[in-house]
Amino acid sequence: MKQFLFITDLDYTLVGDDQAMAKLNERLKVHRQTHHTKIVYSTGRSLYLYQKLTDEKTLLEPDVLICAVGTEIYYGGSNTPDSKWSDKLSEGWDKGLVVQISEVFPKLKLQPESEQRPFKVSYFLEEKTSGDFLSELESRLLEQGLDIQVIYSLGSSAHINSLSGVYEQGKDLEIPVLDILPRKANKGMAMTFVRENLEIDVAQTVACGDSGNDISLFADRKEKGIIVGNAKQELLEWHKTHPNENRYLAKANFATGIEEGLEYFGFL
């Protein structure tokens, strides 16, 4: 056993079964103490919603926190995002113009203000959408010289407030989510940036996820990847059509699936 870099999504990946998470947390805590393993959370949540989650769930303190779908990186419990990463993302990005162009698409409903970040514009969709819609939106943005990417995934309303008028409150619904980011920003690119800063070998890195916005953690990667058994359909379909021996599809759900994958790759 030796040091590794552990990167995981939170909602419906690490978080979802409190008992299983507590068991995995204990094993990771011991491994970090013994082998200096690094723990990184990579979440679509803003820092604000991440902090709300820590009030609700018992999470290990991460060495690094990646928020807002890879657009913000926080080290060592800081509330100030890494400036080098922010500087990198600012090239070819104009948030105001992104919002202005996107407003002409009536299917798009802005997410709460807490989820609109300096390098992320996020929407809900009233219904699941097609690739044609995504292509049209992306084309309109690229035509204006914006260096962007459009990421579609199915999220949960469980951790989102202020959904009145869009979704029925009090229910944990699977909802279509659209994030517009700088092309240089996503969970996968943020993972590479953090891994290189921490100087941890790619072979000693493993990432875990459950939905479409985690695909960049797995696409054409030498890092190991774990997809939990309860993964969303868009990720499962992508996994099936993009095989990679470095990726493992767990049989178990949530943290138990992560533990299964870590044992499969020999990290635990």
pLDDT at position 167 is 41
Taking the whole predicted model, whether its pTM rises above 0.75 is answered as yes
Q: How confident is the model at residue 125 (pLDDT cuts 50, 70, 90)?
A: confident
* CB neighbour class for 156 (10 Å; exposed up to 12, middle 13-18, buried from 19): middle
pLDDT, residue 190, reads 97
Q: What is the pLDDT of residues 83-121, one digit of tens each?
A: 999 999 998 899 999 999 999 998 898 988 888 999 999
Q: Report the pLDDT averaged over residues 57-76.
A: 96
Every domain range in the chain assigned CATH 3.40.50.1000: 5-88+185-265
Instruction: Write the burial class of residue 26 (CB in 10 Å: 0-12 exposed, 13-18 middle, 19+ buried).
Output: exposed
Tens digits of per-residue pLDDT, 50-61? 999 999 999 999
Domain 5-88+185-265, CATH among 3.40.1360.10, 3.40.630.10, 2.60.40.1840, 3.40.50.1000: 3.40.50.1000
Q: Report pLDDT for 173.
A: 59
Average pLDDT over residues 56-67: 97
What confidence tier does 172 reach under pLDDT thresholds 50, 70, 90?
A: low
CATH of domain 91-182: 3.90.1070.10
